[in-house]
Amino acid sequence: MKIGFDNDKYLSMQSEHIRERIGQFGDKLYLEFGGKLFDDYHASRVLPGFAPDSKLRMLLQLADQAEIVIAISAADIEKNKVRQDLGITYDVDVLRLIQEFQNKGLYVGSVVITQYQGQGSADLFKTKLEHMGIRVYRHYCIEGYPSNVPLIVSDQGYGKNDYIETSRPLVIITAPGPGSGKMATCLSQLYHENKRGIKAGYAKFETFPIWNLPLKHPVNLAYEAATADLNDVNMIDPFHLEAYGKTTVNYNRDVDIFPVLNAIFEGIYGSSPYKSPTDMGVNMAGFCIFDDAACCEASNQEIIRRYYQALNRLAKEQGNSEEVYKLNLLMKQAKIKPEDRRVVTPCLDRAKEQNAPAAAMELADGTIVTGKTSGLLGASAAVLLNAIKMLGKIPHDTHLIAPSAIEPIQTLKTTYLGSKNPRLHTDEVLIALSMSAATDPASKRALDQLPKLRGCQVHTSVMLSNVDIKTFKKLGIDLTSEPVYEHKKLYH
């Protein structure tokens, strides 16, 4: 993929802009941090050149000035809300985040439990954190929030919340996921700081939508695709247009809440420091795109991938038709179709030709490799082996894994472990390949090609097992599948 984003420029501009914003508010800034602080793979896919850990690296430049407060909703603790990308609950993710930040050299000051109403599970989590030496604060539900501004900005509103003690000029408010109460935490702190005579400010760091790109720019459309299940909509910021006569892009939730935020700022300070939602942001990403065409193409591909993912969720009864409908509309706005994903047509042609499940992979140089289902291997395992053969310049008819080595694994699966499917999954193939590599130079050369698969594209004619999906993810391969089960049965 062509690079279109200057990551070094981004790190420099972003950290400098945050320093300026800290100075603007008397050396105390509460920064609401949206999206993922690290492993931001959506950004790296739509802005080729953006490193997945860019935001973390930017914060490390401010490490001596910054502390992190992690917000988690008591309601999410109570219902064991799960992060779908990691498969862990929000409370467990808080522990993971604390460990990750500390490992990177960032200071985690405390955890705040928001929307607290006496939930027993939240009390247990608080006790657990405190036994680990982590400070914990509680913020309460406020009746009529967010519209009842007089109550919110009072001792019975924000005043009831615990004051989070912080020691550094930049306070990053982050969370395991959306709906955790990051913004309310920031505003509550502004209220308490003001009562203590401390001048503090608030800003918001969201990478998407990018405010200084056009509304229907593919990068911004890709953000709508990524949040189709939340029903977020990009829109022109009407407050910025009215105040400055300039067209900027924001999204519906920030635009809708801005009049309330303004009223809260006025209730705390007597006047608001901002004239628009765009004013609140500190995102410099739009200034770091140097090849717009490369970012447009990458974003269009992301929209198609999101479309296929939504189709798969719907087929598994985990999604809804409205999400698919919205993604279909986004593809029409971007003037793209599923076949614009280069691996789709070769995959479907191979499946039709073989009358069996097939897969196609696009390598970094644009070469398309296909694989078919056989008695020994599934299509995904076959395409993986064919790809590393090509990258290692190994003849196609070379057996990287001897059939005699595969048969005992099949016997183990079907005879002893009760599996109905004797064919090897991708993880099983990689284990068998690594064993062959101990004695076979060709297998060793093939195994050494695996890092070159990162960023490659794969499409399969049927939906894959979770095992195969996870293996492709670990290899850094972007996978899509037709919304079709390999076998027609009631239980999968």
pLDDT computed for residue 489 by the predictor: 60
Helix 426-436 vs helix 403-411: crossing angle, to nearest 10: 130
d(CA 62, CA 67): 9
Q: Which residues lie closer than 8 Å to 154 by C-beta, 6 or more apart?
A: none
d(CA 220, CA 152): 33
Phi, psi of 128 (to 5 degrees): -60, -45
> pLDDT digits over 185-231, tens only?
999 999 999 999 988 999 999 899 999 999 999 999 999 999 888 77
Helix 292-315 vs helix 218-226: crossing angle, to nearest 10: 20
Percent of the chain with pLDDT over 70: 98
Across 401-436, b (16+ Cβ under 10 Å) vs e yields beeeebeebbeebeeeeeeeeebbbbebbbebbeeb
Q: Answer yes or no: is pLDDT of 491 > 70.
A: no
The residue that leads in pLDDT, 166 or 419, is 166
> Distance between alpha carbon 446 and the CA centroid of its chain, in Å?
31
Instruction: Tell me the helix, strand and coil percentages in the chain, rounded to 5.
Output: 50, 15, 35
Residue with tokens 């247009």: 241
Q: Answer yes or no: is pLDDT of 304 > 90.
A: yes
- Mean pLDDT across the stretch 31-59? 87
Closest CA to 165 of 238, 110, 115, 92: 110
Q: Could you give the 3-state DSSP secondary structure of residue 162?
A: coil
**460 near 347, Cβ under 8 Å?**
yes
What CA–CA distances, in Å, run from 359 to 240, 406, 451? 48, 21, 20
Q: Which parts of 27-153 fold into alpha helices (H)?
A: 41-46, 54-60, 74-78, 90-103, 120-131, 149-152
What's the one-letter identity of residue 203?
A
Helix 218-226 vs helix 321-334: crossing angle, to nearest 10: 170
d(CA 453, CA 181): 39
DSSP 203-234: EEE--SS-TTS-TT-HHHHHHHHHTGGGT--E
pLDDT computed for residue 415 by the predictor: 84
> pLDDT digits over 259-269, tens only?
988 898 898 88
> pLDDT digits over 51-75, tens only?
988 888 888 989 999 999 999 999 9
Assign 490 a pLDDT band (cuts: 50, 70, 90): very low
d(CA 156, CA 287): 43
Phi, psi of 180 (to 5 degrees): -90, -10
**437 near 447, Cβ under 8 Å?**
yes
**440 near 265, Cβ under 8 Å?**
no
Residue with tokens 């009562």: 195
> pLDDT digits over 111-136, tens only?
999 999 999 999 999 999 999 999 99
> pLDDT digits over 352-392, tens only?
999 999 999 999 999 999 999 988 888 999 999 999 999 99
DSSP state letter for 425: P
Q: For the chain, give the mean pLDDT.
A: 92
Q: Which domains does the chain have, with CATH numbers?
A: 7-215+248-288 (3.10.630.10), 342-481 (3.40.140.40)
d(CA 408, CA 448): 25
- Mean pLDDT across the stretch 25-45? 85
Edge-to-edge strands, sheet with 170-174: 135-140, 107-116, 66-73, 170-174, 29-33, 201-205
Tokens of 489: 């049965």
Percent of the chain with pLDDT over 90: 72
Assign 314 a pLDDT band (cuts: 50, 70, 90): very high
What CA–CA distances, in Å, run from 491 to 119, 162, 189, 320, 451? 37, 49, 51, 20, 35
Q: Answer yes or no: is pLDDT of 48 > 80.
A: yes
Q: Answer yes or no: is pLDDT of 311 > 90.
A: yes
Assign 487 a pLDDT band (cuts: 50, 70, 90): low
Phi, psi of 316 (to 5 degrees): -90, 5
pLDDT computed for residue 492 by the predictor: 42
The residue that leads in pLDDT, 388 or 87, is 388
